[in-house]
Amino acid sequence: MSSIFSKTFETYLDVSDRATLYLDPDDRIAWANRACTEIFGMAVEDLLGRPIEYLSKNPIDRSVLRPQTSIYQMRHATGLLRDVLVTTVNLGEQGWMLELRTSAIDQFTTEAGVYEKRLRALSDEVPVGIFFSEVGLRLYYINTRLTEIFEVPAGRIYGIGWLDFFSTEDRAKVESAATRALKGERSYVVANLNTGTGRVAQVTLNFRNISTDRGATGFVGTIEDVTDQIAAEERLTFAATHDPLTGLPNREAMDLTLARHFSTVGKEKSSLMMAFCDLDDFKTVNDTLGHVAGDRLLIEIAKRLQRICSEDQQVFRYAGDEFIVLCKGITTDSEAKKILGDFQRCLELPIYLASTQIQISASFGYAVFRSKVDIDEMITKVDREMYRNKAAKKDLVFQRPGIEL
C-alpha cells in the first residue's frame, strides 16, 4: 500500500506545475520533476546528481526544522541568475524537499508596480509635499505639491538641488534634521524657503528613516507651506493682545509684560514705575462732539504717548479713556515726577476734532516697585492714587509722593 501511495505521489509531483527537488543527505539532487526544466533550462536528467550549490547562488539555510520560504537566486543554464521563491522542507536524515516558484515573485513584482503607481497618484493629490531620498541627501521622488511649494520645475529639486532653496543658516538646520533621519531618528524642522518666484515661504519639514534590503539608507519626508497659517496665528495673537481702536497693547499684554519683569526681579537689579493715566472730562467730548470724535481723540492720545515713550517705556490701553505706562529703571520720586510732567505737557497740546480745537488734561497716579507684588493689587493702589489727584482737581500728581513698594 505504501509503495502504491509513494508511486502515486511521485507521479503527482512530476506532473505538477510547481517545480520540486529532492536533495539527498549530501545536498545533491536525487529527484526533480518536469517543472524544474522551466526554471533551470536543463533536462531533469542533467539536474540529477548535481549539488544544489551549483544551481543556487545563495547557500540553502539548513538550520530550520520547519518549512520556510525565502528568496534565492537560482542559476539558469544560460548563466543568468533569477530570483526564485523556495520553500524548504527538512526531512531529517533523509534529506530535503525544495519547492520552487517564480510566478509568485512575478506576481509580487507586478503588484508592487501597480501599488507604486497608485501611491504616486495618491501622493500627487495630497495637500503636502512628499519626497523620498534614494541614498543620503539625494532626492529621487517628489510629488506635484512639492514643486508647487518650491515654485520651480521638478528638475531643479532632484538630487541635492532642493537644499539650494534655503538660506545658509536654514540649510544647515534642514541638513541636520535630514542627517538625524539617516541615523534612524525622526526629525522635524521649521525653515524659510526661498521659492523660485522670489517669495519667502515658511515651511515645516518632517523626516523619517527608510532603508533598503541592501543596506542603503535614505529618508521619506513631507514639507508643508505654513506661511498663511503662521500669519493667521500672528494676527490672532496680535488681536488678543492689542486694542483694536488705538493699536496699543492691551491689559493682557501688560500682564504678560509684568510677569516677565517679575521673573527677573532679584536676578537683575531693575526697578519699574507704573503710571496710571485717566483723561479728564472725556465724557464731555463724547456728549458734545460725538463718539466718532471721542474715538479720534483716544487714537491721538495713544499716538502722543507712544511718541514720547523711550525704549524703556511702554504704553498700554487699560480700558475706556484709561492708559497705563510702564517705565523701567526708575528709582526715585523725582525721576517719576519728571516723566509724568513730560506726559502731561504732551497731552495738553491742542487737538483739532471736527473743526473744533480742544485741550485735554489727564490725572495721573504712579508707583515705583523693586520687588515682586500682586499685579491687581499694584493697579488698584495706583488707580486710587490717580483718583485722589483727580478729585483734588489737579492735573499733575505733584502734591504728594508716589507709592513705593
Mean pLDDT, the chain, whole residue set: 84
pLDDT of residue 69: 83
Q: Name the residue with cell 533569477.
A: 82
pLDDT higher at 11 or 255: 255
Cα–Cα distance for residue pair 189/393, rounded to 1 Å: 59
pLDDT single digits (tens) 18-75: 889 999 988 899 999 888 888 888 888 889 999 998 888 888 776 667 788 888 888 8
What domains sit in the chain, N to C, each tagged with a CATH number? 2-106 (3.30.450.20), 124-230 (3.30.450.20), 242-404 (3.30.70.270)
pLDDT of residue 1: 38
pLDDT of residue 113: 61
Strand 68-75: give its sheet, edge to edge: 29-32, 19-23, 96-101, 81-90, 68-75
pLDDT of residue 112: 55
387 CB neighbour count, 10 Å cutoff: 14
70 CB neighbour count, 10 Å cutoff: 13
- DSSP per-residue letters across 273-326: EEEEEEETTHHHHHHHH-HHHHHHHHHHHHHHHHHH--TTEEEEEEETTEEEEE
Q: Name the residue with cell 536524515.
A: 93
Q: Show the beta-strand stretches assigned E in 13-60.
A: 19-23, 29-32
Question: Phi and psi for 333 in degrees, rounded to 5?
Answer: -65, -35
pTM beyond 0.75: no
Cα–Cα distance for residue pair 345/343, rounded to 1 Å: 6
- Cell output for 225: 507651506
Q: What is the mean pLDDT of residues 148-154?
A: 94
Asked if the model's pLDDT at residue 163 lies above 80, the reply is yes
404 confidence band (pLDDT: 50, 70, 90): very low
pLDDT of residue 301: 93
pLDDT of residue 147: 94
pLDDT of residue 297: 92
What is the signed CA dihedral for 188, 193, 199, 203, rounded to 10 degrees? -10
pLDDT higher at 125 or 133: 133
User: Hey, what amino acid is at 42?
Assistant: M
Q: Name the residue with cell 502515486.
A: 8
Asked if the model's pLDDT at residue 267 lies above 60, the reply is no
pLDDT of residue 281: 86
- Cell output for 377: 493689587
- Lowest-confidence segment of 104-108, 149-153, 162-166 by average pLDDT: 104-108
- Tell me the CB-side half-sphere exposure of residue 401, using CA atoms within 13 A: 9
Query: CA-based diameter of the chain, in Å?
Result: 126
Nearest Cα neighbor of 144 from 175, 122, 112 is 122
Q: Name the residue with cell 520560504.
A: 69
- Cell output for 395: 492735573
pLDDT higher at 2 or 379: 379
Highest mean pLDDT among 77-86, 285-294, 313-322: 313-322
7 confidence band (pLDDT: 50, 70, 90): low
Cα–Cα distance for residue pair 253/123, rounded to 1 Å: 43
Asked if the model's pLDDT at residue 145 lies above 90, the reply is yes
**SS3 state at 193:** strand
3-state secondary structure 351-372: EEECCEEECCCEEEEEEEECCC
pLDDT of residue 109: 54
pLDDT higher at 371 or 301: 301
Query: Which neighbouring-strand residues pair with 23?
Result: 29, 96
pLDDT single digits (tens) 172-227: 999 999 999 999 899 999 999 999 999 999 999 999 998 765 556 889 999 999 99
pLDDT of residue 397: 40
120 confidence band (pLDDT: 50, 70, 90): confident
Cα–Cα distance for residue pair 67/65, rounded to 1 Å: 7
pLDDT of residue 263: 76
pLDDT single digits (tens) 364-376: 999 888 777 788 8
What is the signed CA dihedral for 19, 25, 29, 34, rounded to 10 degrees? -30
Helix, strand, coil percentages for the chain (3-state, nearest 5): 40, 30, 30
pLDDT of residue 269: 52
